[in-house]
Amino acid sequence: QVQLQESGPGLVKPSETLSLTCIVSGDSISNYYWSWIRQFPVEGLEWIGFIHYTGTTNYNPSLKSRVTISIDTSTNQFSLKLTSVTAADTAVYYCARMKGVLDVWGQGTTVTVSS
Amino acid sequence: DIQMTQSPSTLSASVGDRVTITCRASQNINYWLAWYQQKPGKAPKLLIYEASNLESGVPSRFSGSGSGTEFTLTISSLRPDDCATYYCLRYNTYPWTFGQGTRVEIK
């Protein structure tokens, strides 16, 4: 049974870089595409982007200039970096497997942007 | 981007009622639509994919229909455990986009 677990700082200062990691267990990260999604405090969900083990990525244009998703097949994990954060980036961040659709999600990690 | 309009935003119904939630796309998305259920403090859970395919392990009282621009999620007989927020997701082209959500409450 595949499981995903997000990790990273829960508090980030404005203008700094948000960095999160998703550890995948129970499945090889090379088998699928993998996504990051975030959910704002008032329930809206936003797809951030995806990565494949080949390094192929696709990002939401709303974030494209600030986001980087990377992958490490040796440790079966992938990561998210979001630069120049503001309070508007405060959200719960989820990682998920893309098996056609987003079929398995991590439990989510809350990131607050505040000084 | 293709916009998704979900309605209603809140729905109150009695146990045993038939409940329907609608998602409309601003352009044709064929059948590339999924439905998720989210309970407080939890991640969204996949219920339906490709508009009408039931995800493994999901109760058969959940069903999806539609294609093109109009889609529905139906709960045939509402149970207390179905209290949650439901989201649609279109995934025909990038960036994928979610509906605004429908909160389902028990009367």
Distance from CA of B46 to the nearest CA of A (A): 6
- Please give the pLDDT value at position B71: 98
Size of the A and B interface in Cβ pairs below 8 Å: 52
What is the mean pLDDT for each group of 10 consecutive residues in chain B (107 residues)? Answer: 93 98 97 97 98 98 98 98 97 96 96
Residue A41: other Cβ atoms inside 10 A: 10
The residue in chain B having the minimum alpha-carbon distance to the alpha carbon of residue A38 is: B43
| pLDDT < 50 regions, chain A | none
Which chain A residues are Cβ-neighbours of B55 within 8 angstroms?
103
The answer to whether the Cβ–Cβ distance between A102 and B34 falls below 8 Å is yes
pLDDT (tens digit, 9 = 90+) per residue, A89-106? 999 999 999 999 999 999
- Please give the pLDDT value at position A43: 66
Complete DSSP assignment for A64-89: TTTEEEEEETTTTEEEEEE-S--GGG
Q: Which residues of B20-34 are buried (b: 16+ CB within 10 A; e: fewer)?
A: bbbbbbeeebebbbb
The residues pairing with B60 across neighbouring beta strands, listed in sequence order, are: none
The answer to whether the Cβ–Cβ distance between B43 and A100 falls below 8 Å is no
